[in-house]
Amino acid sequence: MVRNEIKSLIEQAIKQLQKQKKLAKFDIPEILVEHPENRAYGDYSTNIALQIAKTIKKNPKEIAEAIKSKIQNPNYSKSNPKSKIQILEKIEIAGPGFINFFVSKEFLQKQIADVLRQGDKFGSSKTGKGKTVVIDYSSPNIAKAFGIGHLRSTIIGQSLYNIYKFLGWKTIGDNHLGDWGTQFGKLIYQIKEKKVFLKDLTIEKLEKLYIEFHREAEKNPEMEKQARAWFQKLEARDKEAKKIWQDCRAISLKEFQKIYNLLGIKIDYTIGESFYKDMAKDIIAEAIEKKVAIQSQGAIIIKYKKDKFPPVIILKSDKATTYLARDLAAVKYRISRWHPNLFIYEVGADQYLFLRQLFLAVEFLGWEKKEKFIHVVHGLVRRKQGKFSTRKGETIHLEDVLKEAVKRAREIIEKSETSKGFSKKEKEKIAKMVGIGAIKYNDLSQHYSKDIIFNWEKVLNLKGNSGPYLQYTITRCQSVIKKSKVQPRSLQKADFELFDFKKEEENILKTIYKFPEIVQESADKFSPNLLCNFAFDLAQKYNHFYNICPIIQAESIKEKEFRLALTAATSQVLKNCLNLLGISAPEKM
């Protein structure tokens, strides 16, 4: 990445100046290299000279000039013998001591060849080589239909998985299924009390039973005690309770897989809380032995003295294990099986406190430092009136949303002039890609921490900054190349002569080369929305170029080849973006 190369050049220059005693000895601060909003200030800019000046009490402009003189060499190959091209065209000092770097046209042009040569791998790296990350995402509760609220964890988590894998990490996706706990005592109670036949159970009936329990329990609190008693039986391996639970779980898994298939989601492991129920007892014993946990009113709790977190129960007074105990068991299992360098939990904001308690408990137990655990705190999907609640029957089923999206996309395709030659099968395939792509992009394009107010029209918007807009831009690129009758492989080998780029061409070139940086930044900030911002920006610039500059009818062969290569590169980078976001790109629309 160019940003890293520039950082390295600056660091080397500072060290050389210190060695030559032109700068005093000091610890080099973090070198921040940013893209200025105003292009007059270069493609990259750093304020490192101002940072150093504060430390050594010297004029920042003089420091900037000294750094510039050390790295001012248009032939980049002297700094990196493996490179045969010049990355920097010039370096300028601006204001009180900012150092501005301008990328060369030769380098920009080479990026097009790199994109076409590397294809689906352009933007990838090996920065994560030798490292393992476990990503906990999706994690729906069984016996409930997959609600719209579960979409966020599922698709943000999958996108993070794709991004980290693209960067060379060994990635482990773990669907920590909510298949244990008091709620199953409630379901078993309902099934027994209402004499429901197991063979008649569906996901809809299970959800209805759950909703009815909470309505009825408001008038009859005794039901809660009965539900807890049934869960105690389940934990004690009561045959009848276990059979009902197994049937509920099987029905739910079948339902979830149907949704994952629609979304194109594949998660490496689905390990439910029930898997950890026996391990949890060993964790509780370890916590007591290490004096991390204590007895309190018949229960076992963990206290957080200095961190001002409320205490948390790991074993109830009725000897039932809790979520925290089972989540601790899951952490220990992941450590022993995969030895991760990083743990990412893609879980909603309502679990913020719980996960802070979990991560700190892991540190108390001496397993790992809490800094290795990242909670990607996604905002909630809400109604205008507030949060959705399954207990109150206030939710929107994700399957309904996805089917409605595909239906609306199909209606648009049917009305489109460009779809007249499509077969029914092609239309259905495209409708699925476009509709589900629209749903995913609508979510992923917003910062994960932001709450989303559910609105059908906004969610299913197929115009403007949307998945379909990016998909259409890719198909437009492919159509141009197809009409040119030029083989894409021949563009990889084309030897373009340097010429003055038109503004519209340069805008695309100065966007494409930043893609590897955006991928890395998306990983560092756990923010797929950065990829969406980048892709939308690139698509806009390409479509503007398309409307201004003739491609197939360009004035010269060289110009035509260059613009076709630019088109192919744009298509490839947009496809790579969508792949990381988990969105399919149709060949035609």
| Domain parsing of the chain, residue ranges | 2-103, 137-387, 398-581
pLDDT tens figures, 151-202: 999 999 999 999 999 999 999 999 999 999 888 999 999 999 999 999 999 9
Query: Can you tell me the distance from the alpha carbon of 279 to that of 273, in angstroms, rounded to the nearest whole number?
Result: 10
Model pLDDT, residue 296: 95
pLDDT per position as a tens digit, 397-406: 889 889 989 9
User: Sign of the CA dihedral 580, 585, 587, 588?
Assistant: negative
Pick the CATH number of 398-581 from 1.10.730.10, 3.40.50.300, 3.30.110.30, 3.20.20.30: 1.10.730.10
Q: Rounded to an integer, what distance in angstroms lies between the CA atom of residue 218 and that of residue 571?
A: 57
Q: Mind giving me the DSSP string for 71-114?
A: H--S-GGGT-TT--S--EEEEEEETTTEEEEEE-HHHHHHHHHH
Residue 495 has pLDDT above 70, yes or no: no
Token pair for residue 120? 């689906």
Asked if 579 contacts 433 with a C-beta cutoff of 8 angstroms, the reply is no
Ranges assigned E (strand) in 414-565: 452-453
pLDDT at 484: 93
Distance CA 20, CA 273 (A): 62
Q: What mean pLDDT is predicted for residues 488-493?
A: 73
Q: Is the pTM of this model over 0.75?
A: yes
Q: Which fold has domain 2-103?
A: Gyrase A; domain 2 (3.30.1360)
DSSP 8-class letter at 451: -
Decide if pLDDT at 238 tops 70.
Answer: yes
Q: State residue 487 phi and psi, 5-degree precision.
A: -70, 130
**Using one digit for the tens of pLDDT, what is the confidence trace for 46-55?**
999 999 999 9
pLDDT one-digit tens code per residue, 430-486 = 999 999 999 999 999 999 999 887 776 666 666 678 999 999 999 999 999 999 988
Q: What SS3 state is found at 42?
A: coil
The shares of helix, strand and coil residues in the chain, as percent rounded to the nearest 5, are: 55, 10, 30
Assign domain 137-387 one CATH number from 3.10.450.50, 3.30.1050.10, 3.40.50.620, 3.30.559.10: 3.40.50.620
The pLDDT tens digits for 264-296 are 999 999 999 999 999 999 999 999 999 999 999
Task: Quote the longest CA-to-CA distance of the chain.
Answer: 87
Strand-pair partners of 344: 135, 374
Q: Which pLDDT band holds residue 305 (cuts at 50, 70, 90)? A: confident
CA distance linking residue 133 with residue 137, whole number of Å: 12
